[in-house]
Structure 1
Amino acid sequence: MRAQPAGAEARGEVVIETRGLAKRYRGTLAVDGLDLRVPRGSVFGFLGPNGSGKTTTIRMLMGLIEPTAGTARVLDQPMPRSARSVLPRVGALIEGPALYGFLSGRDNLVRYDAADPTADPRTRRARVGAALDRVGLGAAAGKKAKQYSLGMKQRLGLAAALLQPRDLLVLDEPTNGLDPQGMREIRGLVRELAADGTTVFLSSHLLDEIEQVCTHAAVMARGRLITQGPVAELSAGTRSRLAVTTPDPADAVRVLADHGVTALAESGQRVTGELPADPPDLAELNAALVAAGVRVRGFGLERGTLEDAFVALTGEGFDVAG
């Protein structure tokens, strides 16, 4: 199944667009015929298990490797041919930052900024300080990068991507190595950047990360695009499940099955199942449980999630939490 986002954005309203994009390594097709459209102003989640082709796709979009077939346009320019004019408008953190371990975090950013021909050296120190503060590294700016933890290195790489205002920010697994508090901070920063008008393209294998921060998403598996569109529409495409909390799960399963509920599953005191196409009245179903002596502690419908959508589309599951 391959769905397109709702609406037909004009080219100027699409920040990233690929057609038939493919990459083959020694006979292995890492990316297979990718047709991707990233709307301007979106926080776009690029979702898939590790090894699904996400990073290879990003490297092609950024002009780091040549595609085997197909085309890619970034900020309305063909890539990699227009890399020199496109990349100064893009901030990127791909496969972790490349750092000089013997330099401080601050001096690493000074080096990054000095390598940018569009950067104004007169404002360099101020911009470096602001970027460090924005990712929570102001107090550690003088520490050598080799002494940074993995999470701190990720933050420093993100700071490098934020040294100048960008039209597009490309982040490959930006919360890798971060503790839960750090993950929340990065998600908040992504929301701030999007509110300021930056389109954010965020690659992740964490479903809950995509659901919490992204407006749109695409799902990859084994090098192929499975689906793409607004996150709310992708989740809405899955059926809601009935969930019952009870100290009598076996009795609850029996009653629910008698009323047409299928795919029943028990987990401790929690029973879930799928309602039939012509579902019974929920109040009557709850009353039937009580009448059968089932002690109901909780009863209701749970909306479909991206995890449900992925499993429904591919028959597979993958890492869903940090």
Structure 2
Amino acid sequence: MAQPASVTEAAIDTRGLTKRYRGGQLAVDGLDLAVPRGSVFGFLGPNGSGKTTTIRMLMGLIAPTAGSARVLGEPMPSAVRGVLPRVGALIEGPALYGHLSGRDNLVRYDCADPTADPRTRGARVGQALERVGLAAAAGKKARAYSLGMKQRLGLAAALLQPRELLVLDEPTNGLDPQGMREIRALVRELAAEGTTVFLSSHLLDEIEQVCTHAAVMARGRLITQGTVGDLAEGVRGRLVVGTPDPPEAVRVLKENGIVGLVVDGDLVTGELPAQDPPDLAELNAALVRADVRVRSFGTQRGSLEDAFVALTGEGFDVDG
């Protein structure tokens, strides 16, 4: 497991963070999490892994049973009044007034911020709507918004003021592919401006595309954390052979220590052994000597999805 960053480097730092509910249910168990400042940090875990409970503790919405959490260098929840104005958050979907327009909802949010200058409120609201692509629908009642539009409006509320930290829980929920691309681009833009983004998502492809770092939770405990590249590289690569002779290829590959062999049409894939993997050039030569016609030969690096499944034993549906 990657070593946690120091408190001075971390936008979020937890030590032994624990939450036990009445009845004995242990939702989060001794969590040591470090989110580097300036990172886009993906927070992954299967259903019931404790992600949402963790976020609620970080934002001061619920108190931990044990352990500690620091957000932007301040202890939570005791420093909640000083920290939250520096944090933008979209957690478990936006809370909106259905009878108000999108613009009026943002005005309400802005009025609730004691640090917001009322003289520049209109400009802030307009800029936030523009940034999430809702300027044309600003006058529409929120009850008539689609799920994706509501997500965008919630994100706009989180962006009314410049934020040091942005906490997003499933921010692309309900968005079409174009909307998802736009939100990913916005996250990258915010990170380039110096905002730390903490992103909880069940979409592993989304995490891999946009995040610099990630952590994996399972059954309330932290399994691993580190850079996205390091997590993916920790998974064994797969050998991919294109051939019109799959049965013969499978036999030769098995004899040379390749495991987990799968045939899909003219493609044969398998896992390279973790200990003493064969030389790829010699493996290719062995196929040729056995009169296997090789049309393509190479390796695929492990993906974040491969790493997640290897760490948790869970499939791709990891919402929680």
Q: Place the TM-score, normalised by the shorter chain, in its bin.
A: over 0.9
1-side partners of 2:266 and 2:26: how far apart?
Answer: 45
Q: CA contact under 8 A between 1:134 and 1:159: conserved in structure 2? A: yes
2-side partners of 1:296 and 1:187: how far apart?
Answer: 39
Deviation of residue 68 (structure 1)?
Answer: 1.3
Q: CA contact under 8 A between 1:22 and 1:31: conserved in structure 2? A: yes
From 20, 23, 39, the counterpart of 2:36 = 39
Amino acid across the alignment from 1:109? L
Q: Against the structure 1 CA distance between its residues 192 and 296, is the aligned structure 2 distance closer, same or farther, given a 3 Å change threshold?
A: same
**1:150-181 CA-partner distances (Å, limit 9, x unpaired):** 11100000000000000000000111111111
Q: Please report the TM-score for the alignment, with normalisation by the length of structure 1.
A: 0.94
**1:282-311 CA-partner distances (Å, limit 9, x unpaired):** 233224334434343332111112222222
Residue of structure 2 in register with 1:103 after alignment: 100
From 225, 242, 245, the counterpart of 1:245 = 242
Give the stretch that moved more between structures: 311-320 or 149-158.
311-320
1-side partners of 2:50 and 2:158: how far apart?
Answer: 22
Residue of structure 1 in register with 2:252 after alignment: 255
Residue of structure 2 in register with 1:168 after alignment: 165
2-side partners of 1:156 and 1:300: how far apart?
Answer: 45
Give the stretch that moved more between structures: 237-246 or 30-39.
237-246
Residue of structure 2 in register with 1:4 after alignment: 3
Deviation of residue 317 (structure 1)?
Answer: 2.6
Secondary structure at 1:229 match in 2: strand
1-side partners of 2:199 and 2:255: how far apart?
Answer: 45
From 17, 21, 27, the counterpart of 2:24 = 27
Deviation of residue 320 (structure 1)?
Answer: 7.6
1-side partners of 2:291 and 2:150: how far apart?
Answer: 57
Q: CA contact under 8 A between 2:47 and 2:318: conserved in structure 1? A: no
**1:65-89 CA-partner distances (Å, limit 9, x unpaired):** 1111111110111111111000000
From 278, 281, 293, the counterpart of 2:279 = 281
Q: Percent identity?
A: 81
Q: How does 1:144-223 map to 2 (within 5 A)?
A: 144-223=141-220
1-side partners of 2:128 and 2:251: how far apart?
Answer: 59
Q: How does 1:124-163 map to 2 (within 5 A)?
A: 124-163=121-160
CA RMSD of aligned residues (A): 1.7
Deviation of residue 96 (structure 1)?
Answer: 0.3
Residue of structure 2 in register with 1:18 after alignment: 14
Deviation of residue 57 (structure 1)?
Answer: 0.4
* Mapped pair 1:304 → 2:289: no
Q: CA contact under 8 A between 1:4 and 1:227: conserved in structure 2? A: no
1-side partners of 2:48 and 2:2: how far apart?
Answer: 22
**Structure 2 gap ranges (5+):** none
2-side partners of 1:250 and 1:243: how far apart?
Answer: 14
